[in-house]
Amino acid sequence: MLETNQSSSSSQQEQKNTQTSSAQSILASFVCGCLGGIGNILSSHPLDTIKVRMQILDMKLISCFKYITASEGVWALYKGITSPLFNVPLLYAMYFGTYEFGKWAQGLHPNQDISTSGAVIAGAGAGLAVCCVMTPVELIKCRLQMQGTGRKVHTTTAYQLARDVVSSSGFRELYKGNLITILREIPAGAVYFGSYEYCKRKLEQNYGNKYFVPLLAGGTAGLLSWIVSYPQDVIKTKLQCDSGLVRKYPQNKLIRDGGIISCAKDIWKHGGLTGFTKGFSACGLKAIIAEATTFFIYENTKKLAPY
């Protein structure tokens, strides 16, 4: 009888310790994801500015870079960085924290490896979760990046632009493009985490736990996630930069799509299939650099977590 009680007490204590470790792991993922987000923005924002300009202005990578730096100055590449620098770390905190929660929801302990299919499911959930914050952040970022195109001007701050958007068009304007953002982030999150876990596992099997593993796996994950979601991103950028009283991309009469169908038709009309890939050269390069940096910081800082 005494042995049974001791066994039950030991089992309860073990379960309690597991729950504590899981909570600590989720919290650590929020913090380390935030740090990874900072590295992501600092390492890749100029390429993001070029990507947005290429999508709107229909230019090539090198010519777009030369055009921006010659007409607006080198620092124009950092237009709109204040909004993502303050908000993207929060997004990545939510992204990685929600992903870790998704692993816990599948019954995994913090140090257990997750299967590729499990990572795809958890990643899709993480992608959906961040859209509530991502949509307004990206709308402000894109509009800041398009300010003063072709000339040197004093751009407004992210706060000023957000205030102007709300005062002129209402709070709902901040969520313009939310549906297409969701349609972008669910597959992106699924491929992002699924491919990362797969590549990481294969690299560790061949090379062990080397420092370059998160760099290579992260860069690969970033590139693949953008490949499956880039057409949605082109539509999102055009929709979010479509401001003013007269909208170029009106909402469909039958479906509350936020202008997705009319925008997609316009892209196809003027550029065909390649119209949905404008700016991908900058985006692909940005994805490799940004996500390699993100995962390198995330993995190495999480090793310091006390659980």
The reply to whether 16 falls in a domain is no
Percent helix, strand, coil in the chain (nearest 5)?
A: 80, 0, 20
Per-residue pLDDT of the chain (307 residues; tens, 9 = 90+): 545 554 555 555 555 555 567 788 888 899 999 999 999 999 999 999 999 899 888 889 999 999 999 998 998 898 888 877 888 888 999 999 999 999 999 988 877 889 999 999 999 999 999 999 999 989 998 888 888 666 666 667 888 989 999 998 899 999 999 999 999 999 999 999 999 999 999 999 999 889 899 999 999 999 999 999 999 999 999 999 988 656 788 888 888 888 999 999 999 999 999 999 999 999 999 999 999 999 999 999 988 876 5
CB half-sphere exposure, 159, CA atoms < 13 A? 1
Res 58: pLDDT: 85
**249 phi-psi bin (left φ>0, alpha ψ -120 to 50, beta other):** beta
* Cβ 101 vs Cβ 121: under 8 Å: no
The reply to whether 92 falls in a domain is yes
Res 213: pLDDT: 96
CB half-sphere exposure, 58, CA atoms < 13 A? 7
> Sign of torsion, CA 118 124 129 130?
positive
Res 159: pLDDT: 86
Query: Which amino acid makes up residue 103?
Result: K
The reply to whether 9 falls in a domain is no
Measure the CA–CA gap between 172 and 106, rounded to whole angstroms: 35
The reply to whether 4 falls in a domain is no
CATH number at residue 169: 1.50.40.10
**Domain limits for position 205:** 21-302
Structural domains of the chain, count: 1
Res 82: pLDDT: 80
Structure token digits, residue 184: 């972008």
The reply to whether 292 falls in a domain is yes
pTM listed for this prediction? 0.86
Measure the CA–CA gap between 110 and 221, rounded to whole angstroms: 21
The reply to whether 228 falls in a domain is yes
Q: Other CB atoms closer than 10 Å to residue 4's CB: what's the count?
A: 8
Q: What does the DSSP assignment read for 240-262?
A: HT--SSS-SSPPPSSS--TTHHH
* Cβ 128 vs Cβ 209: under 8 Å: no
Residue 208 CB contacts under 8 Å (≥ 6 apart), including other chains:
none
Measure the CA–CA gap between 98 and 29, rounded to whole angstroms: 8
Strands of the chain (E only): list them.
none
**Alpha carbon 64 to chain centroid, angstroms:** 23
The reply to whether 12 falls in a domain is no
The C-alpha angle 178, 290, 288, rounded to 5 degrees, equals: 105
Res 15: pLDDT: 53
* Cβ 180 vs Cβ 239: under 8 Å: yes
The reply to whether 164 falls in a domain is yes
